[in-house]
């Protein structure tokens, strides 16, 4: 009997993908996805052109940058105002480029305001192009109304969720959601060991290494850097062997950080392009709320998380928007319990930060408890291979579209 070969749908021989994101953390997530897309496309014999709204990391991963969005992100109502016009101007230029060279698929990462405009533009002018939301807005945590949730879903043919609760939330509202796990699981797997990291940085055995991660946005330099430096000053007064290690997220912040080190008389070293090494080497991290909190947790480093916005923004959010969230830092949001100390707005004082930091350094019970909580967090965040799973989902949808074209 003759063997009948299975019939496979013809794959797209080449395809153009647009990945749209913003800010430093989005650039990191986008770069991890770009690298995985190259790997998975090669396995499928698919030639890709990857366009991006992002930053240096995505460009280094091989994407063609249509615009740099890492310097125009902000958190807060008042804080966002200076970036509205530059963002709109950039998006207008990008829309003109897309009109001439439309993508075959769009991946939106976080960054909801600008991404909603990109998605709406694509729906209006290129309705046949699939849209994927990867790392969607955290409506499952702090939704102010169903309208934004519905908007996310309307702009998403597929939603790739990085948290289990995120997938459940969006599925409940009717999204085609798939839980792929958190991409930082893959990133932290490449971190050096503690011993190797300390050797690389030249940290001596009895030094207490404190990672200070104050800012990835200009507004954070203003609102967070001074209070973190004052807290570090108090910790160093109590522990003369403590030394600060400050990895810069953007080189434009170097002058401000150097000035703060001198102003507060800190024993500190600034490093560039070595965030992974600094985190791996640290005994403690003093950090703003953000994606780095998960990297720090997955690396097993105790941390104190803070966040502040301007008083005007805080007052508007509380008075008119009724803004209230259970937690701010990603580790606490994932577990929905306070596994890391977080100090927000008025509570983020130098005294409170220093007290929490010293407790994590000197109290064996506190250090043991946070390690136990980190172990539970690692289980929730899923297995390795996250970025390749996400890339596979992207290419599957792309090939489904091509198959539909052929069948038509």
State pLDDT tens for residues 171-185: 999 999 999 999 999
- Report yes or no: 394 and 107 within 8 Å, Cβ to Cβ: yes
Confidence band for 315, pLDDT divided at 50, 70 and 90: very low
Burial class (CB in 10 A: 0-12, 13-18, 19+), 62: middle
pLDDT, residue 11, reads 46
Looking at residue 69, its pLDDT comes to: 82
CB–CB of 25/217 below 8 Å?
no
Per-residue pLDDT, 7: 45
How far, in Å, CA of 284 to CA of 367, rounded?
10
- The structure tokens listed for 121 are 């533009």
Task: Give the per-residue pLDDT at 328.
Answer: 83
Condensed to tens digits (0 to 9), the pLDDT of residues 109-126 reads: 998 888 999 999 999 999
pTM given for the model = 0.83
Q: Is the pLDDT of residue 407 over 90?
A: no
Neighbours of 309 (CB within 10 A): 22
**What per-residue confidence (pLDDT) applies to 401?**
82
pLDDT, mean over the chain: 87
Q: Which two tokens stand for residue 131?
A: 């849209």
Tokens 């160093």 identify what position?
Answer: 236
Q: What is the pLDDT of residue 4?
A: 47
Using CB atoms within 10 Å of the CB of residue 265, give its burial: 0 to 12 exposed, 13 to 18 middle, 19+ buried. Answer: exposed
Give the pLDDT confidence of 203-257 residue by residue, as tens digits. Answer: 999 999 999 998 667 777 777 899 999 999 999 999 999 999 999 877 788 999 9
Q: Provide the pLDDT for residue 320.
A: 46
Question: In what order do the strands lie in the sheet containing 64-68?
Answer: 64-68, 47-54, 14-20, 105-109, 131-134, 158-161, 177-179
pLDDT digits (tens, 9 = 90+) for 34-50: 999 999 999 999 999 99
């Amino acid at each position: 009997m003759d063997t009948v070969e299975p019939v496979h749908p013809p794959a797209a021989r080449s395809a153009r993908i647009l990945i749209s994101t913003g800010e430093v953390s989005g650039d990191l997530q986008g770069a991890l996805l770009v690298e995985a897309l190259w790997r998975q496309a090669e396995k499928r014999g698919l030639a890709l052109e990857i366009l991006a709204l992002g930053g240096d990391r995505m460009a280094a991963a091989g994407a063609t940058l249509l615009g740099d969005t890492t310097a125009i992100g902000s958190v807060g109502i008042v804080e966002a105002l200076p970036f509205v016009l530059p963002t709109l101007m950039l998006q207008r230029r990008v829309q003109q480029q897309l009109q001439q060279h439309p993508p075959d698929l769009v991946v939106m990462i976080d960054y909801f305001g600008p991404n909603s405009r990109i998605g709406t533009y694509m729906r209006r002018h290129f309705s046949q192009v699939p849209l994927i939301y990867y790392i969607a807005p955290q409506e499952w945590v702090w939704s102010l109304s169903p309208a934004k949730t519905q908007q996310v879903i309307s702009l998403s043919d597929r939603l790739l969720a990085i948290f289990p609760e995120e997938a459940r939330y969006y599925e409940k509202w009717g999204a085609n959601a798939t839980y792929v796990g958190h991409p930082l699981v893959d990133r932290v797997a490449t971190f050096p060991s503690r011993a190797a990291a300390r050797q690389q940085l030249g940290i001596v055995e009895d030094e207490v290494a404190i990672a200070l991660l104050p800012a990835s946005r200009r507004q954070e330099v203003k609102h967070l850097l001074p209070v973190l430096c004052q807290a570090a000053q108090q910790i160093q007064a109590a522990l003369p062997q403590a030394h600060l290690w400050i990895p810069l997220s953007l080189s434009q912040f170097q002058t401000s950080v150097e000035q703060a080190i001198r102003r507060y008389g800190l024993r500190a070293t600034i490093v560039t392009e070595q965030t992974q090494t600094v985190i791996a080497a640290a005994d403690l991290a003093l950090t703003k709320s953000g994606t780095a909190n998960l990297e720090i947790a997955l690396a097993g480093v105790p941390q104190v998380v803070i966040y502040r916005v301007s008083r005007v923004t805080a007052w508007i959010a509380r008075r008119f928007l009724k803004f209230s969230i259970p937690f701010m830092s990603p580790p606490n949001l994932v577990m929905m319990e306070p596994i890391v100390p977080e100090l927000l707005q008025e509570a983020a004082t130098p005294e409170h930060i220093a007290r929490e930091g010293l407790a994590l350094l000197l109290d064996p019970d506190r250090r043991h408890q946070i390690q136990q909580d980190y172990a539970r967090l690692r289980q929730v965040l899923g297995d390795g291979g996250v970025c390749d799973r996400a890339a596979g989902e992207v290419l599957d949808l792309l090939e489904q579209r091509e198959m539909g074209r052929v069948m038509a």
